[in-house]
Amino acid sequence: MDLRESSRARRWQKFARELGVIVLGVLIALGAEQAMTTWHERSQMRELRVAVDNEIAQGLGVWQGRVEQQACLETRLDELSRWLQGWREGKPQNLLGPISAPRSGPSGTSVWESRDPAVMTQMPLQAKLAYAGIYDEFANNEVQRLDERMAWLALGEFDGALFLDHGAQMRLQGLITRARWRAGNIANNLIEAEKAALEMGIKPIEYSFEPESYAPLCAPILSRP
């Protein structure tokens, strides 16, 4: 073999070895970087789940706080129905106090809405779907809650009313029906939301509105029949 060819072959072999070492080093570095990124994202995912679980627990607690007023709310609507019936029968009564309204508040969603898409890729699909379902319940309840509040604000316009003509009677009936329907939805939907949360190991954080804040709702405003 020609000495020049032998020398050239050895140089190529040396180059190939050095190139292989470089490529291997690059692959190891990239693999290590990817592993570190994955580890970091999984760590962030675990932190996100803790924060989301806490947000859901607090949201359910606020929702429960509203439902705790259900008995007073239903009694008030029964009173308003009797008051309306009195006007229809020509036996009107004067209300003894303000109609008032239930207290409520939104279930927070800021943690879920600010989630990082890259971090979410590390979350199991089943967990993503479960969380999304619970937040869908929160969104639906917010629609119910806001419309309930509007219904009760409208009912408050009847405070101190001394006369109810036919139009006012029809409006009052509509508002009573609307308030009952929303109240039923809010109470029933909470059961479903709590069930979904419990399957994720999440329990509500107890929250109660100050009793004095909704005490007027629980006070009678009509003489007993």
**Residues 10-68: pLDDT tens digits?**
666 665 566 555 655 555 554 545 545 554 556 778 899 999 999 999 999 999 999 99
The dihedral over CA atoms of 145, 150, 156, 162, expressed in degrees to the nearest 10, equals -140
Does residue 224 lie within any of the structural domains? Answer: no
Distance CA 17, CA 9 (A): 12
Q: Residue 5 has what pLDDT? A: 59
- When the pLDDT of each residue in the chain is averaged and rounded to a whole number, the result is 87
Task: Quote the pTM value.
Answer: 0.80
Expressed as residue numbers, the domain containing 138 is: 3-218
Residue 63 lies in a domain: yes
Asked if the structure places residue 23 within a domain, the reply is yes
Q: Does residue 102 belong to any structural domain of this protein? A: yes
Position 215 scores a pLDDT of 93
**Mean pLDDT in residue range 74-92:** 96
Q: What is the pLDDT of residue 213?
A: 87
pLDDT digits (tens, 9 = 90+) for 125-173: 999 999 999 999 999 999 999 999 999 999 999 999 999 999 999 999 9
Q: How many domains does the chain have?
A: 1
Residue 223 counted as domain residue: no
